[in-house]
Amino acid sequence: MSLIMCGRPWQRGRWIQGLVLVPFCFLFPQSLQYDLPRVPIGLQWEAMISAQNRDWHRLAGPFVRPVEMASRETGIPPMLLAAVVFVESRGQARAISSAGAIGPMQLMPTTAMRVLHVNPWQIQQNILGGAVFLQDLLKRFHGNLTLALDAYNAGPTRVASGEPLPPSAVAYAKTVEALLQWAKAGTQAAPLQSRATTQL
């Protein structure tokens, strides 16, 4: 005699009920089925950044999150923004140049407030303003990164006119581009140094 026949009637009933219901589990709408917790989008985005590209975090210093947010807002690669931040301020939130440019992205207060419409004394807005300005320069110079960086340092009017740039502007662009390549390569070499300052 089988185990099914030997069991009590209520046990046989539950066993048969299980056989009947199991196939229907696969017919339920997906919304009614138990779903495992999903990984938050932010964590997924973090996981997509390869280990080698995390070298740009070293360039961004304490401004990794603001740089990431500005990158998402403007589409400028975070590595590029981090390289600009490093050359501009070396991670100093209250950095002020001799020309009066302030903050991580060294924005001139007048340019920041009247043109970029950001508060240059607020870190997130400072970095976002710099990212927006760089985005506009890349559009103006048809994606030419060197010219955009020259313009970020020496001013777009001077670059557009074709007049010779000061050596500091040329060194500035080369330094930012070198740091960008360093971050992309994921090397362990020490970041380059530069004395270039921003004058928007």
| Within a domain: 46 | no
Question: Is the whole model's pTM more than 0.85, yes or no?
Answer: no
| Within a domain: 48 | no
CATH of the domain at 177: 1.10.530.10
| Within a domain: 42 | no
| Within a domain: 196 | no
d(CA 155, CA 200): 5
The pLDDT value given to residue 146? 96
| Within a domain: 43 | no
Copy the structure tokens of residue 151: 């313009």
Each of the 200 residues of the chain gets a pLDDT tens digit; together they read 444 444 454 455 554 454 444 444 444 444 433 343 444 444 444 444 444 457 789 999 899 999 999 999 999 999 999 999 999 999 888 888 888 899 999 999 988 899 889 998 999 999 999 999 999 999 999 999 999 999 999 999 999 999 999 999 999 999 999 999 988 886 444 444 433 333 33
**CA–centroid distance for 82 within its chain:** 9
How many domains does the chain divide into? 1
**Which residue in 46, 68, 73, 88 is the catalytic one?**
88
170 CB burial (10 A radius; 0-12, 13-18, 19+):
middle
| Within a domain: 20 | no
The pLDDT value given to residue 92? 86
- 88 catalytic residue (yes or no): yes
Total residue length of the chain: 200
- Give the domain extent around 125: 53-185
| Within a domain: 16 | no
| Within a domain: 73 | yes
CA-nearest of 113, 110, 89, 116 to 198 is: 89
DSSP collapsed to 3 states, 108-164: CHHHHHHHHCCCCCCHHHHHHHHHHHHHHHHHHCCCCHHHHHHHHHHCHHHHHHCCC
